Amino acid sequence: MAEKVNTSISPKRSLELLSQREVEQLQRSSAADHNLYALFRQCALAILHSGSNSDDANSLFETFKDFDIDLIQQDRGIRLLLKNAPGNAFVDGEMIASSREMIFSALRDILYSETERNSKWMDLETSSGITDYTFHLLRNARALHAGEKPNLVVCWGGHSIPEYEYDYSKDVGHELGLRKLNVCTGCGPGAMKGPMKGATIAHSKQRIQNGRYLGITEPGIIAAEAPNPIVNELVILPDIEKRLEAFVRVGHGIIVFPGGAGTAEEILYLLGILLHPNNRDIPFPLIFTGPKESESYFTQLHEFIGQTLGIEAQQKYRVIIGDSEQAAREMARGIEEVRDFRVKQNDAFYFNWALTIDYNFQIPFEANHENMATLNLHADLPKHELAANLRRAFSGIVAGNVKPSGVKAIKDFGPFKISGDKTIMAPLDKLLRGFVDNKRMKLPGSEYVPCYEIVD
C-alpha cells in the first residue's frame, strides 16, 4: 500500500504569498471556485507523486482519493495543509524542496491563469491576444529571462521508453549541458527526465550553478506525466495548445527523441508552424535523434513526412542517429544562428515574437468522433494546413489512447474514424501500424487495441 503523509508547508518566496481573495478562491470550503480547487488538488497530487514510475493517472487518483490539500491561516500567514499525501515526495518526513516549490508554482499558475483570463484587457479571440496571454503567464512564472543569451533547448520524446532510449537522452542532455545549454521539457519521466539529469551532471562539471530545467505542462497531462524533481522551474499552462506555443516561443531549438503518437503530434505541430510562409526565413534548429536501436522510429517518420508534407518539410530538421555529441554540437551551432538572426532583427532573446502561429494552432482541438471524422486530410491543402490537420489526427489518437475523456468516448462509441486522400491515409496507416508494432502506442506490457480506424 502506498505510504501517505500528513504535513503542512509554507510559502518561502515572495511570489508564493497570497491575498485574502486568493485564499478564498482556492480554499476547499469556498464553493464558488470548486473547479479551481479541484484543478489545484489534482496538480498538487501529480507533483507529489512525481518520483513514482507509474504514469497511470487513474490509478493515482484512485489510490489517493483521500488526498486533501487546503489553505489555512496559520503560522505567520498562509500554510498549505496536506493530508494523505503520497510518501515519495518526502525524506524522513520532510518534503523535498523541489516538490514544495512546484506545488506553489501550481498555485501561482492556476490563480494567475484564471485572473488573466478574466481580465478586461485580455482578448482570447485573436491570435495575438492568445500569444500575449501565453507571454503573461510565462512572465508571471519568471520563465522569461531578460539579458540571457539564447541557450534553451526544448526536448520532446516519449515518457515511457526503453532503458537504452532513456540512457541516450541522458547522454544528449549531458552533451548539451557541457555546452552550457539549458533544458526545457514537458515534464514527466522518460525522454522528459533523461536530458535534465544529464544536463545537471554536466552543469556541475561546468560549474554552472543556475542551470535551468524548465518544465512546461498543462492540467490535463500533469497527472500522467508528473514533473520530475529535477525541474527547477515549473509552468502550468491552461491547455495543450498554449503549452505547445510556450515551447516554441521560449525554446531556441528543439530536440526530438523517439516517442509515440504524442511525439508525432508535437512534430507535426512544429512542422505546421515552420512551413508557414511567414516563418520560412526564421532559423529554428530542429533535431531528431535517438540511439541506433531506435533508428526505425525516425526512418518511418521521415518517410511519412516526405510522403505527406514533402521535401521542404524534410529539410526543416536533421536526423542524427546514435551520436549524442553530434546532436548537441549541431544544436549549439543552430542556436548560434538563432542568436545572430535575432540580433540582426532586433528580436527578443527570451520570446520568439517573430514566429507566426495561426489561430487554429492556438485553440484547443476537442477529440470527439465528429471532429475526428471531419478532419480535412487532403493533399491539395497548403502544407502547413495539412500539417495542422495531421497533428489534430494524432492529437485525437493520443486522447483516445490515454486521456480520460477520449478513452471514455472510444469505450462508448467505438474507434474514431479518420478519412482523407489515399496519398495521405496510406502513409498514415503505415506509420501508425509501425508504432503499434514497435509497442509505441501503449505502455510496455499491455496489448494495444487501436482507438482509430482509417476509412476511405
Q: Is 93 in the site for a second copy (CB under 8 A)?
A: no
The CB-of-348 to a second copy minimum distance in angstroms stands at: 3
- Sorted by sequence, the CB contacts under 8 Å of residue 354 that are 6+ apart come out as 282, 345, 347
In degrees and rounded to multiples of 5, residue 154 shows phi and psi of -80, 130
Rounded (10°) angle between helices 383-402 and 404-413: 80
* Pairwise CA distance, residues 142 & 401, whole Å: 34
Q: Is 29 in the site for a second copy (CB under 8 A)?
A: no
Position among 40, 166, 317, 350 found at the interface with a second copy (CB under 8 A):
350
Of the pair 38, 348, the CB lying nearest a second copy is at 348
Specify the stretch interacting with a second copy by CB under 8 A; choose among 293-301, 348-356, 390-398, 399-407: 348-356
How distant is the alpha carbon of residue 152 from its chain centre?
15
Of the pair 98, 169, the CB lying nearest a second copy is at 98
Position among 20, 29, 53, 446 found at the interface with a second copy (CB under 8 A):
20
Q: Is 119 in the site for a second copy (CB under 8 A)?
A: yes
Q: Is 209 in the site for a second copy (CB under 8 A)?
A: yes
* Residue 205 burial by Cβ neighbours in a 10 Å radius (0-12, 13-18, 19+): exposed
Q: Is 35 in the site for a second copy (CB under 8 A)?
A: no
Q: Is 230 in the site for a second copy (CB under 8 A)?
A: yes
The CB-of-74 to a second copy minimum distance in angstroms stands at: 5
Specify the stretch interacting with a second copy by CB under 8 A; choose among 35-43, 198-206, 359-367, 410-418: 198-206
Judged by CB under 8 A, the number of residues near a second copy is 70
Cβ neighbour number for residue 333 with a 10 Å cutoff:
12
Of the pair 136, 302, the CB lying nearest a second copy is at 136
Rounded (10°) angle between helices 240-250 and 261-274: 60
The CB-of-28 to a second copy minimum distance in angstroms stands at: 19
Could you say which residues in the range 392-451 bind a second copy, by CB under 8 A? none
- Expressed in angstroms, the distance from the first to the final Cα of the chain is 49
Interface characters, 314-333, with a second copy (x: CB under 8 A)? ---------------x--x-
Q: Is 163 in the site for a second copy (CB under 8 A)?
A: no
* Pairwise CA distance, residues 73 & 88, whole Å: 26
Q: Is 145 in the site for a second copy (CB under 8 A)?
A: yes
Q: Is 205 in the site for a second copy (CB under 8 A)?
A: yes
The CB-of-197 to a second copy minimum distance in angstroms stands at: 6
Of the pair 37, 304, the CB lying nearest a second copy is at 37
Q: Is 369 in the site for a second copy (CB under 8 A)?
A: no
Position among 77, 277, 306, 414 found at the interface with a second copy (CB under 8 A):
77
Interface characters, 265-304, with a second copy (x: CB under 8 A)? ----------------------------------------
The CB-of-106 to a second copy minimum distance in angstroms stands at: 17
Position among 54, 204, 374, 423 found at the interface with a second copy (CB under 8 A):
204
The CB-of-343 to a second copy minimum distance in angstroms stands at: 7
Q: Is 156 in the site for a second copy (CB under 8 A)?
A: no
The CB-of-177 to a second copy minimum distance in angstroms stands at: 10
- In this structure, what C-alpha cell is assigned to residue 113? 491563469
Of the pair 98, 395, the CB lying nearest a second copy is at 98
Q: Is 34 in the site for a second copy (CB under 8 A)?
A: no
Which residues sit at the interface with a second copy, rule CB under 8 A? 11-17, 19-22, 25, 73-78, 91-92, 96-98, 101, 115, 118-123, 128-129, 131-132, 135-136, 139, 142, 144-147, 178-179, 197, 200-201, 204-210, 213, 229-230, 232, 329, 332, 342-343, 346-351, 353
